[in-house]
Amino acid sequence: MINQHPHVRFNPLNQSWVLVSPHRTERPWQGLVEDTPQETSLPYNPSCYLCPGNARAGGVRNPHYSGTFVFDNDFAALRPETPAGEFREGDLLLARNESGRCRVVCFSPRHDLTLARMEVEAIRAVVDTWCEEFAQLAAQPNVRAVQIFENRGALMGCSNPHPHGQIWADASVPDGLLREVTSQAAYFEKHRRTLLEDYWRLEISKEERVVCANEHFVVVVPFWAVWPFECLLISRRPVPSLLELTAAGRHGLAEILRRLTIRYDNLFKTSFPYTMGFHQQPTDRNVYPGFHLHAHFYPPLLRSATVRKFMVGYELMAMPQRDITPEAAASQLRALPELHYLDT
Ligand code: ZN
């Protein structure tokens, strides 16, 4: 089984799992080879495998889409047809096959846009697409968690500047989500309110770590932030997933995503790289008391468009470390205008 199908291996030293996708070596790379900066690139790029009408790896041709466009990743780390299988040698070597599905979501037919450069209505269409995909994937019997995320920028390993994100549907609940399921359940058990509702209320009352907010969402640099300009986007209503948002809530999400990503771009006057992703309750039909919809933004930049933070040395060995305080980072982000620097 090992070296053939996607599988997870257990690390008995730190009790965590690693996803191994042995078949995924021929992925295309269109990140750093771009020779023109994204800001000035053209709306259509004939060599981009995500632009409308273009051929993807394996010869499939994209439709001439005009809004969002979703397809199964041609180089998926997880595959639905993966057979069940387990490998075990004593207490040290433990692995099991992992099935799932990897979707790619093009946010726009325009090669030259990013969330920060899209209108609220267009971002709302992305939110609606995330909701549809989440509902469809969650309804499948062997899907226990759905991870919606976006890798932006070559600095974050994004292989193509065309605005897009990914959705990985997993047959088991990944460690990262499971930890937050457990902590939120314990908090709810003790306080009968969700951890993140109490947290956003606390932050709104203190103001010093709030970046921006609207009627439906609050964005803060969390008290415990690791990355210099890390942000946590929290739904004001304690809903477990995007599906429980009202129409106004979905619009509010599009609006706050635009405002936050514009602030990020304005910080160093660059198309700001980050990894962002939503945490939503597992989709295995169990009840998850206290699970509260939110998104994490992890940007790598520290002082300028080129100076990035590395997680190395002590941080890999012991614990993360930061210099600029979360309060100072929040105050910098808060002071920025919400009009994009390229529009001024
Ligand atoms: Zn989370």
Give me ligand 1 centre to Cα 295, in Å: 6
What are the sequence ranges of the domains in the chain? 39-337
- Mean pLDDT value across residues 299-320: 92
- Mean pLDDT value across residues 38-49: 80
- Mean pLDDT value across residues 64-91: 93
**Predicted local confidence at residue 158, as pLDDT:** 82
Backbone angles phi and psi of 49, in degrees to 5: -80, 0
**Predicted local confidence at residue 204, as pLDDT:** 98
Least confident of 72-86, 177-191, 284-298: 72-86
**Predicted local confidence at residue 59, as pLDDT:** 83
Give me ligand 1 centre to Cα 280, in Å: 8
Q: Convert the pLDDT of each residue in 204-225 to its tens digit.
A: 999 999 999 999 999 999 999 9
Instruction: Assign 320 a pLDDT band (cuts: 50, 70, 90).
Output: very high
Instruction: Assign 58 a pLDDT band (cuts: 50, 70, 90).
Output: confident
- DSSP string for residues in 270-317: S---EEEEEE---SSS---TT---EEEEE--BSSSSS-B----THHHH
Backbone angles phi and psi of 59, in degrees to 5: 90, -5
Residue 37 has pLDDT above 60, yes or no: no
Single-letter amino acid code for the residue at 145: A
Least confident of 86-95, 154-163, 167-176: 154-163
Is residue 164 part of the annotated active site? The answer reads yes
Share the mean pLDDT of the chain: 92
Q: 39-337 has which CATH code?
A: 3.30.428.10
- Mean pLDDT value across residues 266-287: 96
**Predicted local confidence at residue 164, as pLDDT:** 97
Instruction: Determine which one of 7, 111, 164, 279 is catalytic.
Output: 164
- Mean pLDDT value across residues 251-280: 97
**Predicted local confidence at residue 29, as pLDDT:** 56
Residue 233 has pLDDT above 80, yes or no: yes
Instruction: Assign 27 a pLDDT band (cuts: 50, 70, 90).
Output: low
Q: Convert the pLDDT of each residue in 235-245 to its tens digit.
A: 999 999 999 99
**Predicted local confidence at residue 74, as pLDDT:** 87
Spatial neighbors of 295 by CB under 8 A, at least 6 apart, are 232, 233, 276, 277, 278, 279
Single-letter amino acid code for the residue at 293: L
Give me ligand 1 centre to Cα 196, in Å: 10
Q: Convert the pLDDT of each residue in 142-152 to its tens digit.
A: 999 999 999 99
Give me ligand 1 centre to Cα 159, in Å: 24
Number of residues in the chain: 344
Residue 195 has pLDDT above 50, yes or no: yes
- Mean pLDDT value across residues 296-324: 93
Give me ligand 1 centre to Cα 308, in Å: 23
Residue 54 has pLDDT above 70, yes or no: yes
Give me ligand 1 centre to Cα 177, in Å: 7
Q: What percent of the chain has pLDDT over 90?
A: 82
Q: Which long-range contacts (CB under 8 A, 24 or more apart) does 20-28 make?
A: 20/95, 21/76, 21/77, 21/78, 24/75, 24/76, 24/77, 26/57, 26/75, 27/75, 27/159, 28/57, 28/75, 28/159, 28/160
Give me ligand 1 centre to Cα 218, in Å: 14
Q: Which residue has the higher pLDDT, 314 or 159?
A: 314
**Predicted local confidence at residue 39, as pLDDT:** 42
**Predicted local confidence at residue 317, as pLDDT:** 93
